[in-house]
Amino acid sequence: MKILFARLSLAATLLAFSSTTWAGDHVFDSSFDDHAEGPWSDADAARFLTQATFGPTLDEIARLRRMGYNAWLADQAALPASHERPYMESQEAAGLDVYQNSRQEAWWLHAINGPDQLRQRVAFAFSELFVVSDQNGDIEGQPIATAAYYDLLVDNAFGNYRSLLEQVTLSPVMGHYLSMFKNRKPDALENIRPDENYAREIMQLFSVGLLRLNADGTLLMSAGQPVPTYNQDTIRGFAHVFTGWNWANCLVDGGGQWWEWEWCPPGPVDWPEPGWNASWFLPMQAWESYHASAEAKQLLDYPGVILPAGMLAGGGSAASDLAAALDNIFQHPNVGPFIARHLIKRLVTSNPSPAYIGRVAATFANNGLGVRGDLGATVRAVLMDAEARQLPSLASNAGKLREPLLRQSHLWRAMHAASNDGRYREWYADYYLGQAALRSPTVFNFFLPDYSPPGELSSLGLSAPEFQITTDTTVASVANALDSKTFWAWRGNPWMDPEDVVIDLDAELAFASDAVRLIDRYDLLFMSRTMSSSMFDILVSHVQGMDNADADDRRQRVQDAIWLIQTSPEYAIER
């Protein structure tokens, strides 16, 4: 409040404006019946929604304040999941050609309009952990199966990590991306041995990482050195586990002969009859004759490991070996801090304290009811932690660079973007944002979790993963994308086509004459009232200097304000 009055008096002194209505927007924030856990202000609510959704709207801020965090979180958990696959199948049924474009449409639809915002946001975070990508040729040609994979992440966003890991593992989309599909037991004569791709990445990227962690995510040290989580023998052990999986419902007329393994089709009917690719939508199925059963397998070895020294005895089936291996990963003490760190970095801040990671990891280890791996409880722990809920000081260097996709989704949600027919034909966001859902160049996602740009940040020891895709080129192309979405693609622009997604500025025009009130509105909507006084003054002064004779002038005031905010360093770094 103090800052606000300072702003008001400063602006009043400098610009001698008169305003009769601005203060009512939030001076009486406290008239809400605050819930014990908060939020206690619109700013708190906006900040929470920035972390938990694809961007706050004024309606959602008000709704969250009415409900309180607890009821809002419970409501989100209870909402039915919005799925991409049915959207695409309805397009297909309507006779449209369905490519990966259509999947991007579905993603934007749910990001902008999905009621289950938290579930969608967490699924997006998991899509940057359990990475598959339509840049892979096999997957590019299966857009609806790719969508089904995303739906799997959506469905399990609040489920259990162990179950999610198994569904990811048996997904034929992942099977193709990391080549566990048709991975086979060794054949010494042919010098063939199991593919190590999935074995390596499930450990390095999806669960435990390369180095042993303490419970708070810091590196475990032994004699001054970090301790590797596994070695090449472990990778070979898991590579043997992940053998013998092929399409579901293969027709095994010959009793599992090699030609059946090799040529089993993905569906019971021939292309292009409907159902020709039905097995793309079902978990892969075990073929014992191609599973490396005989060999003993070295799995992860760690304090408290159930298998003796992490060694899985030979003789298991494909399914029993898989279950034992996923249990062996799931119980590893690294998983909690590893998943906690990922979710915190995607939702809240790039440099969480070890204590914060430790608290979230503890919830992962035990949700309070003795259950390990409860992702709903883990997400709640991420968002409701004091370190997430308290606005950090500037000097703490806390916060994170907003992902480019989230900057655009923020604009579109705040300004109710839509096309006339409700479709979001946002097919190639990666061209200018450097990012689109399930379109990473590699399994290492768009950026590495510990990336630190050379210069001040790395000398301060700060990670800032999103800077890895913030190059001299993309920093400009993202600003230009927001430019066209703001100055060009607005409802009423006669140059736009009916199918273009346009923002709706009509409701904004009423605020445009009063620059202080306008900037104050966007300080809440875009920056959770973290805008500095100097930034506030620069924007007010700029808008005051613009014409204000007619609706066009007012629209341009709104557009300048939005774009200048969204391209500013203070906005780019979400705190």
CB 446 within 8 A of CB 207: no
The count of residues interacting with other proteins (CB under 8 A) is: 80
Q: Which range, of 248-256, 314-322, 356-364, 538-546, touches other proteins by CB under 8 A?
A: 538-546
Q: Is 461 helix (H, G, I), strand (E, B) or coil?
A: coil
- According to DSSP, residue 350 is labeled S
Q: Which range, of 143-151, 278-286, 439-447, 497-505, touches other proteins by CB under 8 A?
A: 439-447
Tally of residues, the chain: 575
Q: Does 4 bind other proteins (CB under 8 A)?
A: no
Q: Does 554 bind other proteins (CB under 8 A)?
A: no
Q: Which range, of 124-132, 215-223, 370-378, 563-571, touches other proteins by CB under 8 A?
A: 563-571
Cβ 124 to other proteins, closest distance in Å? 21
Cβ 174 to other proteins, closest distance in Å? 13
Q: Which is nearer to other proteins, 86 or 228 (CB)?
A: 228
Q: Does 560 bind other proteins (CB under 8 A)?
A: yes
Residue 298 phi, psi dihedral angles, 5° rounding? -75, 115
- According to DSSP, residue 289 is labeled G
- According to DSSP, residue 246 is labeled E
Residue selected from 4, 323, 444, 513 as contacting other proteins according to rule CB under 8 A: 444
Pair of tokens at residue 213: 């962690």
Cα distances from 339 to residues 63, 170, 375, in angstroms, run 30, 20, 9
CB 166 within 8 A of CB 326: yes
Q: Which is nearer to other proteins, 21 or 473 (CB)?
A: 473
Pair of tokens at residue 569: 């360093």
Cα distances from 212 to residues 159, 226, 280, in angstroms, run 26, 7, 36
Residue selected from 3, 460, 510, 551 as contacting other proteins according to rule CB under 8 A: 460
Q: Which range, of 145-153, 163-171, 509-517, 561-569, touches other proteins by CB under 8 A?
A: 561-569
Cβ 542 to other proteins, closest distance in Å? 4
Q: Which is nearer to other proteins, 375 or 502 (CB)?
A: 502
Give the per-residue contact string, 368-407, with other proteins (x = CB under 8 A; - = no): --------------------------xxxxxxxx------
Q: Which range, of 83-91, 313-321, 365-373, 462-470, touches other proteins by CB under 8 A?
A: 462-470
Q: Which is nearer to other proteins, 159 or 453 (CB)?
A: 453
CB 341 within 8 A of CB 80: no
Q: Does 468 bind other proteins (CB under 8 A)?
A: yes
Alpha-carbon distance of 528 to 56, in angstroms, equals 9
Q: Does 224 bind other proteins (CB under 8 A)?
A: no
The amino acid occupying position 281 is F
Q: Which range, of 212-220, 247-255, 305-313, 536-544, touches other proteins by CB under 8 A?
A: 536-544
Give me the DSSP letters along 116-170: -HHHHHHHHHHHTTS---TTSHHHHT-HHHHHHHHHHHHHTTTSBHHHHHHHHHH
Q: Is 386 helix (H, G, I), strand (E, B) or coil?
A: helix
Q: Does 272 bind other proteins (CB under 8 A)?
A: no
Q: Does 74 bind other proteins (CB under 8 A)?
A: no
Residues 98-117 that bind other proteins (CB under 8 A): none
Alpha-carbon distance of 375 to 98, in angstroms, equals 32
Q: Does 70 bind other proteins (CB under 8 A)?
A: no
Q: Does 546 bind other proteins (CB under 8 A)?
A: yes
Find tokens 């027709």 and name the residue.
Answer: 251
Distance spanning both ends of the chain, measured CA to CA:
19
CB 54 within 8 A of CB 410: yes
Give the per-residue contact string, 175-214, with other proteins (x = CB under 8 A; - = no): -x-xx--xxx-----xxxxxxxx--x---x-----x----
Q: Does 59 bind other proteins (CB under 8 A)?
A: no
Cβ 462 to other proteins, closest distance in Å? 6
CB 469 within 8 A of CB 434: yes
Cβ 295 to other proteins, closest distance in Å? 13
Residue selected from 5, 315, 471, 507 as contacting other proteins according to rule CB under 8 A: 471
Q: Quick one: which H or E segment has residue 221? A: strand 221-222
Residues 337-366 that bind other proteins (CB under 8 A): 350
Q: Which range, of 7-15, 55-63, 252-260, 470-478, touches other proteins by CB under 8 A?
A: 470-478
Q: Is 20 helix (H, G, I), strand (E, B) or coil?
A: coil
Q: Does 564 bind other proteins (CB under 8 A)?
A: yes
Give me the DSSP letters along 62-93: HHHHHH-HHHHHHHHHHSPPP-SHHHHHHHHH
Residues 230-249 that bind other proteins (CB under 8 A): 232, 235-236
Cβ 421 to other proteins, closest distance in Å? 29
CB 378 within 8 A of CB 343: yes
Alpha-carbon distance of 235 to 400, in angstroms, equals 34
Q: Does 315 bind other proteins (CB under 8 A)?
A: no
Crossing angle (nearest 10°) for helices 117-127 and 375-384: 100
Q: Which range, of 3-11, 139-147, 302-310, 477-485, touches other proteins by CB under 8 A?
A: 477-485
Long-range residue pairs from 72-77, CB within 8 A, at least 24 positions apart, any chain: 73/118, 73/380, 73/383, 73/384, 76/52, 76/116, 76/117, 76/118, 76/119, 77/118, 77/119, 77/158, 77/376
Residues 121-150 that bind other proteins (CB under 8 A): 138
Q: Which is nearer to other proteins, 365 or 482 (CB)?
A: 482
